[in-house]
Each structure stands twice: as C-alpha cells, then as structure tokens.
Amino acid sequence: MRSTSVIAPVTRLEGHLGIRLEINGGKVENAFCSGEMFRGFEIILKGRDPLDAQQITQRICGVCPISHGMASVLAQEDAYGIAPPDNGRIARNLILAANYIHSHIIHFYQLSALDFIDIAAITKYQGKDPALNELKRWASFELSSNKIFPVSPFLPRFKGEYVEDTDLNLTAIKHYLEALDMRATAHKLAALFSGKMPHAMTLIPGGITEKITALSIAAADSLLTRLEHFIDTAYLPDVIAVAQGFPSYFEIGKGHGHFLSYGVFSEGDSGKKFLPDGVIINGRLENLQPSVITEDIEYSYYASGSGLKPGNGTTVPAPDKLKAYSWLKSPRYRGYPMEVGPLARILIAYQKGEQTVVPAVDALLKTIGRKPSELVSVMGRHAARAIECKLVADKCRTWINQLRPGRDNATPFVIPASGDGMGLTEAPRGALGHWLTLKNHKIDNYQCVVPTTWNCSPRDDKGIPGPVETALAGTAINDKDNPIEAMRVVRAFDPCLACAVH
C-alpha cells in the first residue's frame, strides 16, 4: 500500500526543514528534504566592507556562529596573504572548540535524546532535586490533561518505542537539565577569548583582538574541567546506553557512504590540522581537492546558473520556479553528494590513522560491540559526535597550555583593492566554505557552502538525491502518522536549516 507522510516543519532542529516521505509497503521509497525559507546573506554582503563579513556571516546562525566567523576570516586571510601568530591561532581553536562542545551537547540532549528517552518517566521520580520535581509536576499535568495543544518542548511527541528502563530515563532527564548549564559553561569558555557569545566580537583577519592573559588561561582551564567531567560522566555514557538500547539503529539510515572534511583546528605553519581534511568516495580515501566543488540548482528556488563553482556562484531567488522544492542549493563534489559532519571527520581521521582518533574509536566500538562500517548509521552518527566532543575537549587542555600571555595575538594587514579568497573550515555540523571576491576594496561576491546544505540538499541536476534524502530511503515506518523512525534518521544528522539556506 502506498501513502505519503509530510512533516513540516520537523521540530527539535534549527530552522525550517520539511520532509516528504513516499511510503510503499511500510518502507520509505522516496524522501524529499525542503529548506522552507530564504534568507539572502550572500546578497546582503555585496558591496560592503570586507571587515563586515566576519560579523554579518556570524548572524547566519546562533548555534555555529564561530564557524562562519572563522570561514570568513580564513577567506580574508587567503585574499590578504596573512596568517595569525600562535596566540591568535590557538585562541581561535579554543573559541571554535568551545562552540563544538556547546553544539554537540545541545544536539544530543535538547534535540535528539527525546527521540529515545521517555520523558513520561519523570512522573516516577522520587528524589528531592527541585528542578526535577518541578519537571515532574509539569509533565504529570501535561500528560493527564488531554489538552489539544500540549505545551512544548517535550509534548506532543510521536508514538513509538522509548527507553523502558526507569533509571536510564531519569538519569538522562537529569542530564538534560545539566546540559543547559554545560552549554552556558562552554559559552563562558569561548567568551574568554571571543568577547561574548554566541556572536564573537574578537575574530579578525590575522588573529583575534583579545589579549591573552594569565587570568583568561586559568579561567579557561577551570571551565574546561567542568565540561570534560560532564562529557565523561554523562554525555558519553548516555550515548552508549541509548546505542545499546536501540541496536537496530546501527542498520538504519546508511546513506550514500561518501564523506567530506575540510579539516579543522590548525596546529601551525605545517598546515597540519587536529582533525584532518580528506574525502571518502565509495569507501576509498582521497586527498581533498576544493576545485571540484559545484552547486546545482535544478530543484532549488534559484534562477542562477547551475553547476557553478562557489567562487563564481550567484544567488538569484526564484520563488515561483515550478520544479523546485527547496531553498537549499545542491552542493556536489566531483558530482557526488557528500555527507559532512562529525561522522565524516571521524571516519576520515580513522582511515588516515590519526594517533588520537584511532584508539578512541576502537575503544568505543569495543564497548558497544560494533564494527567501523556500522558507524554509518543513525547510532553511528550519535557515537561519532560524542567521541569527537571528548577528543576536542581533551585537546583544549593542550591548546590552553600553549597560550603565551603578552605575546602578539594578531598579524597586521592591508586590504587589497581586488583579489579573492577561499576559507575552508569545519563547523560542528560539517564542512563549511566561504568564497570571497573583492573589487574597489569592497565585497564584489560572497558565497557560502554550508554543512547542512551538503547534508539536506535536494536532488541535483542529474536527479541524485541528497545525503539525508538517501539515508531516509528504505527506512521502515511502522505508523505513517507517527513516523518516529524517520525523525530519528533526520535528527542524527543534526540539521541546521537556518545555516543551510543562509
């Protein structure tokens, strides 16, 4: 029997994503991802002073602003021919790392965990924690009230199988509340070097404007200890427990199996990055070649040329285009749709034999009794994100110890009248690139190709679906009116549609 299920917008992710599932015989036959709104940052940037770019592009998103600021200053550094001194480079690593920790913790607890954890278990709570008792009072009321519109964010929810173990449910709900405090802690860590969060004041081409002091180093060390404790005692164990409770989700949501990472967290002049760049196509590792990136628009609400390289890209909205179904363009790498994000970074680092990554991945796989290939799945994406969060947090200790109070934190520069630059980095959700062209000292063209644009892209000019569309195909849907299985597939990618449409 055929049916269609449309979920628009999908909740518990950032921005406006619509999903259309065409179901045949209880399985998704075709899936479509729609970015439902237009924003126009690439147009807003035209004609402006290039130093506005790292501030304006950070407003693309409140979750991953640092990545946009970083891509922007990297593109400008490429155009101006400069690089930051060690203090600037390392402090930027720390700001970005703190933003990763913040983002990964939100994603698991606030956005995804409620696909698995049973919030109704709070009614069984017998302890004395005031916050949990307040949650219990509220949830007991909502669950028994039969209101036609229950109060979000916990209810309403799709019917489905949730965790049955009361202790695990109550532990995860307690961690849900603690995660809110950890997000603030990660923001405080970033703000020691970024001025404030979420949108950093201090990022400039050539480094950062904030002086490094003994006080900021000591404060960073202390905040990091709290974050590491939460990752070790809550985030990782909770992900492992959920993974063990839902083993079928190591089979669900596979996707194309092509992965892309630009590499991130510069280790200095050698060009080495803590998480390396690379590409995996059909299981084979390749060197990254940015010149083969293009964007198609056959099914996107744009009238610009199709198949353009981002450096020559244009953004001409066409809301009446009949064939279109998304405000995302379709980025492709040598024609391939690429999955980006923590799983891509971890698999590429693992295949490259990175010394810190390989033992961490092997230890986790041993704990959960899985093979590396099984990471390409819903649970694998959660596991990869959690491992990455731990690796990045632990690496912050090294970076904090490498900061030198009083030394330069920025390199002077002159903005040339014309030129172009490419800034490639990795946002929490994956590969992020900004392309900049200057004319008369002003921005002539600015193009962003963003992680969720890769992951949630619509079909390309050849009709090939995007990574999330492909990961959804084949998923068994038990009840088309409660397609929780599809929501688990989508949320495992941690989509941000605000970024994706930019």
Q: Which residues make up the interface to ligand NFE (CB under 6 A)?
A: 14, 61, 63-64, 67-68, 103, 427-429, 432, 450-452, 496, 498-500
Identify which of residues 60 and 364 has a Cβ nearer to ligand NFE in the complex.
60
Other Cβ atoms less than 10 A from the Cβ of 152: the count is: 11
Binding mask 443-462 for Mg ion (x = CB under 5 A): -----x--------------
Partner that binds at residue 45, options Mg ion, ligand NFE, none, CB closer than 5 to 8 Å by kind = none
By the 10 Å C-beta count (0-12 exposed, 13-18 middle, 19+ buried), 322 is classed as exposed
Least distance to ligand NFE from the beta carbon of 121, Å?
Answer: 30
Partner that binds at residue 67, options Mg ion, ligand NFE, none, CB closer than 5 to 8 Å by kind = ligand NFE
Look at the block and give the residue holding tokens 């490419």.
422
By the 10 Å C-beta count (0-12 exposed, 13-18 middle, 19+ buried), 87 is classed as buried
Q: Which two tokens stand for residue 150?
A: 């229950």
Identify which of residues 250 and 302 has a Cβ nearer to Mg ion in the complex.
302
**What b/e sequence results for 30-52 when a residue is b if at least 16 CB atoms lie within 10 Å of its CB, and e otherwise?**
ebbbbbbeebebbebbeeeebee
Partner that binds at residue 239, options Mg ion, ligand NFE, none, CB closer than 5 to 8 Å by kind = none
* Residue 100 contacts residue 392 (beta carbons within 8 Å): yes
- The continuous run of DSSP H or E covering 393 comes out as helix 378-402
Partner that binds at residue 500, options Mg ion, ligand NFE, none, CB closer than 5 to 8 Å by kind = ligand NFE
Where are the strands (E) in 356-397, listed by range? none
Partner that binds at residue 200, options Mg ion, ligand NFE, none, CB closer than 5 to 8 Å by kind = none
- The window from 118-126, 240-248, 428-436, 442-450 that contacts Mg ion (CB under 5 A) reads 442-450
Least distance to ligand NFE from the beta carbon of 323, Å?
Answer: 24
Least distance to ligand NFE from the beta carbon of 77, Å?
Answer: 18
Identify which of residues 22 and 461 has a Cβ nearer to Mg ion in the complex.
461
Binding mask 400-439 for Mg ion (x = CB under 5 A): ----------------------------------------
**DSSP states of 177-199 as a string?**
HHHHHHHHHHHHHHHHHHSSSSS
Least distance to ligand NFE from the beta carbon of 125, Å?
Answer: 33
Main-chain phi, psi angles of 419, to 5 degrees: 150, 180
Which of 137, 159, 140, 156 is closest to 148 using CA atoms?
A: 156
Identify which of residues 191 and 448 has a Cβ nearer to Mg ion in the complex.
448
Partner that binds at residue 451, options Mg ion, ligand NFE, none, CB closer than 5 to 8 Å by kind = ligand NFE
Q: Residue 402, CB half-sphere, CA atoms under 13 Å: how many?
A: 19
- The continuous run of DSSP H or E covering 467 comes out as helix 467-472
Least distance to Mg ion from the beta carbon of 501, Å?
Answer: 9
Least distance to ligand NFE from the beta carbon of 448, Å?
Answer: 8
Partner that binds at residue 227, options Mg ion, ligand NFE, none, CB closer than 5 to 8 Å by kind = none
CA distance 432 to 203: 17
Least distance to Mg ion from the beta carbon of 465, Å?
Answer: 19
Identify which of residues 438 and 448 has a Cβ nearer to Mg ion in the complex.
448
The strands making up 419-427's β-sheet, listed across from edge to edge, are: 419-427, 430-439, 442-449
Least distance to ligand NFE from the beta carbon of 27, Å?
Answer: 28
- Residues forming contacts to Mg ion in the complex (CB under 5 A) are 448
